[in-house]
Amino acid sequence: MNDVYENNNSFVEKDSFMAKEITFYRLDDNASGFQDTLSAIVNYLTQLPRMVLDGSIKFPKEPSDIARKVFADPIVSDFLIRSSRLAVFSKELAKSFRGDLDALAVIKQLKFFYNLPTVAVLQQFAKLVARTDNVEATKKWNSIIEKIAACGLGSMTVRVLLQEIEGPQCYLDNAEYLEEADPHAVYPTSIYRTCEGYVLAKPDASVIESTMSLSLTTTIKIVSGVLNPANHELRNIYQALGRCVAVVDDKVEKLYGNALQAYFDRYNIELCKLVFSGNEANKDVSTVENILVSLKRKRVSRNEPVLVIGGGVISDVAGFATALYHRNTPYVMLCTSIVSGIDAGPSPRTCCDGFGFKNLYGAYHPPVLTLTDRSFFRTLHHGWLRHGIAEIIKMAAVKDESLFNLLEKGSSDLVWTKFGTEMEDFNGDHTEFGKLCDLIIGKALESYVISEYGNLWETHQCRPHAFGHTWSPGYELPAGMLHGHAVSTGMGFGAYLSFCEGWTTRAELDRILTLLSDLELSLWHPIMQDVQRIYSSQEKMIEKRGGNLAAPVPKGIGKCGYINHLPYELLVIRLQEYLKICQGYPRGGLGVEAHCRDVGLEDPTEGSVNQALPEVLNGFENGYRDDTTDNDDVLVSNGHAELHKGYEKDFQPGEKRKELSYSEWIEAVQKKRTKNIPSHVAFEKAEDTPNPPVFKPNELCHPGVEDYAINMTQVPSLDIQKIALATEDQEMFTPCMVGQLEAQFLKMMAQLANAKRVLDVGTFTGMSAMAFAEGLPSDGEVVTIEFDPKIASVADQLFRSSSQCHKLTLKVGDAVSVMNELNSSDEKFDIVFLDASKDQYTSYYKIALDMLTPSGFIMADNSLCALLYDEDDSRRQALHDFNQMIKNDKRVEQLVVPFREGVSIIRPKKYL
Ligand SMILES: NC(=O)c1ccc[n+]([C@@H]2O[C@H](COP(=O)([O-])OP(=O)(O)OC[C@H]3O[C@@H](n4cnc5c(N)ncnc54)[C@H](O)[C@@H]3O)[C@@H](O)[C@H]2O)c1
């Protein structure tokens, strides 16, 4: 048996033992021959208006006659028919157009001419004419387009038009041929995607082996003034459709909504704006659902490109919604920020966060057209620019050294001039700087595409583009960080790991850290002390990356290598080493305006992170949110870890930025920077809230602040030092001591208040009592109460051997009982210091109010632990309730001092 079937979709059986081969499409791959056809049509289209003008041909006036004349011409029909048979997404065809990308984009559209609105085909003709620089002919074609668009013909598909005008038979014959040869060209679902398949089947069809592929087409363009009606980019897409459904970022709508409306009004295109929040806090699946519902309400069809306008968040969520809508709907991305303009915008990875997991849901769905227009950057907050530039540094560091050099050249001027859009205070050459900005954006996009478009579905994990994104997803949301700052910390750490591998020299590492630091990005964030969290993120990343860490890091500058093994113990050491290095950079490696809330954006830790997880997710199987709050594993900078060999000696952090006088600095930098910082004055009493806000990490101040303050504060007395040493020796929980700074504070408060008697509720090993005693006159007294007899005996010994023993009275027992006893004996105190059980503060407070001398006051220690204790620790809520009770108590005036873990000072009003 040797049957051979030529038909489409049929088995071609070569012999009975060989597998049958199933073929699908018959495309014309004679790409080079096509160039002649193209020259002929360009010539015709360019000459046509001239011939009309000089009278050599008679051109009709009625739009339908114009259409008939154009489509019936054999040069036009030959060109369109040949275009429809081409494999327009093939490499071969693309290669033959290497010298003419504009024509390639036209041919990719015209393959589908039967289903394009008539005006869209004419626009493609106009584009071919515009390539010739023949201004007159281009103008004429644009006026033909306007005429046809204004009558009903414009939105009619060419297929229908040809029926209406009784077009030549060749179009019908070709359509019939295409039904078998390439149905994409005649009945496409989308003009932006085609698929192929190759199938072999055993003769009895018991085994079938197949491969399938999908080809997508997309265009990325850097444009200028896209909302200026003279710019035809958006008109060319939406005029033919008669309307534009646009998902618009809310901030962009406020700033550019009118210009957007005016643009579409100018071309008589209906604009349906769907405005959504572009905040990270709203990058949730519910936003995606709302977009889906809005698209459905507007009856968006599955081949109608939705226009998405905004930054990274809106491109992710709206792109994801279009991926889901009708399983797949095209979208055009108009990028208004750096993050979207060079990264999230053209990205195939659309997504949203869910239940606090960063990018939990997603789909691979690139836009069909990305437009990056730098003029939008003028209205970006400086902090947003800074975090956007982080994504450019990422590409430069692992993909393109020349881009890295350009970034070093532009440095912080890129931020302060808002990428060359706010040049009033810029002293250099404006044109040159503008060119530099364009080149940086172009090269960033090019590096992006080189890294990503060959691996669209992330089918392998050699992804330079993921540099900086291995550890940071574990802490970006919990820390409330801006994405770029989180990535920046990951880049700095990754670059250090590369140095440790011997892949990057010290000088190169310094260049990377210096560039990040000069742009005021974060090299470090306090949340990175939580090694467990970072390790957990790493483990999740290994899962996500198919069993490999494959962490991209620079190999030198402009090349990429992958770290695949980083055990926990080594991670601890490397993080310690890295922290030390960061401390040698300006601001100790911390970023400027590193958090969403610092730049006026909603804090994501107050949004999606707090949503309750469904039962099924309680094990945190799939994402990066990590509930690790156990302080035992927190990495602290104790200086014990050894630096990577050879590092400490030679490392020279980069040069500092050029010096400015104080007034120059205020003028040039600080005024702009602080423009959006609030006044820090409340104008009315805060509303009560059921719970304290989520607040991580576990300390109030940036690391280093307390160390510095301690260094600048008087060294404590020998008695205080002894208490500290004894507490450590006996392995008691040292954080229960008030510590040096607070001890000095308590002593000074006693002195300033001329106190004689202090009640210290909660002795622990006696540091607070000792400090107060030191602040009292020789006849003063501190009565201190400790519940635990074992701890009390340690304190007792320390008191007895101290210089203040005559002032110290220790009482062992339950604080409420002892206080009641003292109160019933009418004992009075100038200061009552509350520092025992945090969930008893309200009871202590009520008794203490009764025990004060006329000028006495209460101090409550640890009051800001309402922010710092673990979420499931009941003391957190108890302290919040206590703080609010004090705030609402009309009898007292109060101040919460954000010092150590918070000290509230509470003073009865009647004595003021
Ligand atoms: N899909 C990807 O491949 C990819 C890549 C990088 C980043 N991202 C995502 O991007 C997000 C970060 O982007 P983003 O939106 O927070 O940052 P952004 O810099 O794009 O925007 C910051 C803020 O600026 C607003 N904005 C945008 N354009 C503006 C303009 N011209 N004028 C004034 N305000 C403007 C936005 O509403 C947003 O609140 C993260 O969620 C990150 O995961 C995704």
For 657-684, the pLDDT digits (tens) are 445 566 666 666 666 555 555 556 676 7
- Ligand 1 test: best mutation among 279, 309, 316, most atoms within 8 Å of CB? 316
**CA atoms of 246 and 266, how far apart (whole Å):** 17
Distance 312 CA to ligand 1 centre (A): 3
Pick the residue with more confidence: 689 or 742? Answer: 742
Atom of ligand 1 nearest to the CA of 337: 28
Percent over 70 (pLDDT), the chain:
87
Average pLDDT over residues 48-58: 65
Find where tokens 């620079």 sit: 554
Average pLDDT of the chain to the nearest whole number = 87
How sure is the predictor about 356, in pLDDT bands with cuts at 50, 70 and 90? low
Which pLDDT does position 467 carry in this prediction?
A: 96
- In DSSP terms, 560 is beta-bridged to 554
How sure is the predictor about 639, in pLDDT bands with cuts at 50, 70 and 90? very low
Average pLDDT over residues 265-286: 93
Distance 300 CA to ligand 1 centre (A): 25
Q: List the one residue out of 759, 188, 697 whose CA is nearest residue 478.
A: 697
Q: List the one residue out of 344, 354, 355, 351 whose CA is nearest residue 309.
A: 344
Which pLDDT does position 752 carry in this prediction?
A: 97
Does 379 contact ligand 1 (Cβ within 6 A)?
yes
Does 343 contact ligand 1 (Cβ within 6 A)?
yes
Tokens matching residue 671: 């005024």
Average pLDDT over residues 358-365: 91
Which pLDDT does position 640 carry in this prediction?
A: 33
- Ligand 1 test: best mutation among 353, 380, 392, most atoms within 8 Å of CB? 380
How sure is the predictor about 325, in pLDDT bands with cuts at 50, 70 and 90? very high
Which pLDDT does position 451 carry in this prediction?
A: 87
Average pLDDT over residues 198-209: 91
The protein residue with its alpha carbon nearest to ligand 1, atom 34, reads 380
Distance 323 CA to ligand 1 centre (A): 19
Least confident window among 33-37, 191-195, 232-236, 603-607:
603-607
Alpha helices per DSSP H over 182-311: 183-186, 233-238, 250-266, 285-297
Distance 278 CA to ligand 1 centre (A): 7
Average pLDDT over residues 121-148: 86
Q: Are 694 and 871 in contact (CB under 8 A)?
A: yes
**CA atoms of 20 and 67, how far apart (whole Å):** 47
Does 313 contact ligand 1 (Cβ within 6 A)?
yes
**CA atoms of 10 and 17, how far apart (whole Å):** 18
How sure is the predictor about 644, in pLDDT bands with cuts at 50, 70 and 90? very low
- 383 Cβ contact list (under 8 Å, min separation 6): 482, 592, 593, 598, 599
Distance 276 CA to ligand 1 centre (A): 13
Q: Categorise residue 558: left if φ over 0, alpha if ψ from -120 to 50, beta otherwise.
A: left
How sure is the predictor about 58, in pLDDT bands with cuts at 50, 70 and 90? low
Atom of ligand 1 nearest to the CA of 379: 32
Which pLDDT does position 503 carry in this prediction?
A: 97
Which pLDDT does position 338 carry in this prediction?
A: 95
**CA atoms of 790 and 361, how far apart (whole Å):** 54
Average pLDDT over residues 483-505: 97
**CA atoms of 307 and 119, how far apart (whole Å):** 19
Chain segment 771-815, per-residue pLDDT in tens: 999 999 999 999 999 999 999 999 999 999 999 999 999 999 999
Which pLDDT does position 692 carry in this prediction?
A: 84
Does 349 contact ligand 1 (Cβ within 6 A)?
yes
Distance 311 CA to ligand 1 centre (A): 4
Distance 228 CA to ligand 1 centre (A): 23
Average pLDDT over residues 623-642: 30
Chain segment 515-529, per-residue pLDDT in tens: 999 999 999 999 999
Q: Are 498 and 561 in contact (CB under 8 A)?
A: yes
The protein residue with its alpha carbon nearest to ligand 1, atom 26, reads 311
The protein residue with its alpha carbon nearest to ligand 1, atom 3, reads 344
Which pLDDT does position 733 carry in this prediction?
A: 75
Atom of ligand 1 nearest to the CA of 384: 19
Distance 396 CA to ligand 1 centre (A): 20
Which pLDDT does position 492 carry in this prediction?
A: 98
Encode 445-498 in three state secondary structure.
HHHHHHHHCCCCCCCCCCCHHHCCCCCHHHCHHHHCECHHHHHHHHHHHHHHHH
- In DSSP terms, 372 is beta-bridged to 222, 335
3-state SS assignment for residue 161: helix
**CA atoms of 709 and 711, how far apart (whole Å):** 5
Does 311 contact ligand 1 (Cβ within 6 A)?
yes
Chain segment 576-630, per-residue pLDDT in tens: 999 999 999 999 999 999 999 899 888 777 644 334 444 434 333 333 333 222 2
Does 481 contact ligand 1 (Cβ within 6 A)?
no
Which pLDDT does position 662 carry in this prediction?
A: 66
Task: Kindly report the pTM of this predicted structure.
Answer: 0.67
Q: List the one residue out of 764, 760, 771, 762 whose CA is nearest residue 721.
A: 771
Does 384 contact ligand 1 (Cβ within 6 A)?
yes
Atom of ligand 1 nearest to the CA of 484: 12
Q: Are 532 and 630 in contact (CB under 8 A)?
A: yes
- Ligand 1 test: best mutation among 247, 364, 384, 481, most atoms within 8 Å of CB? 384
The most confident of the ranges 311-325, 678-692, 896-910 is 311-325
Atom of ligand 1 nearest to the CA of 277: 37
**CA atoms of 393 and 468, how far apart (whole Å):** 10
How sure is the predictor about 732, in pLDDT bands with cuts at 50, 70 and 90? confident
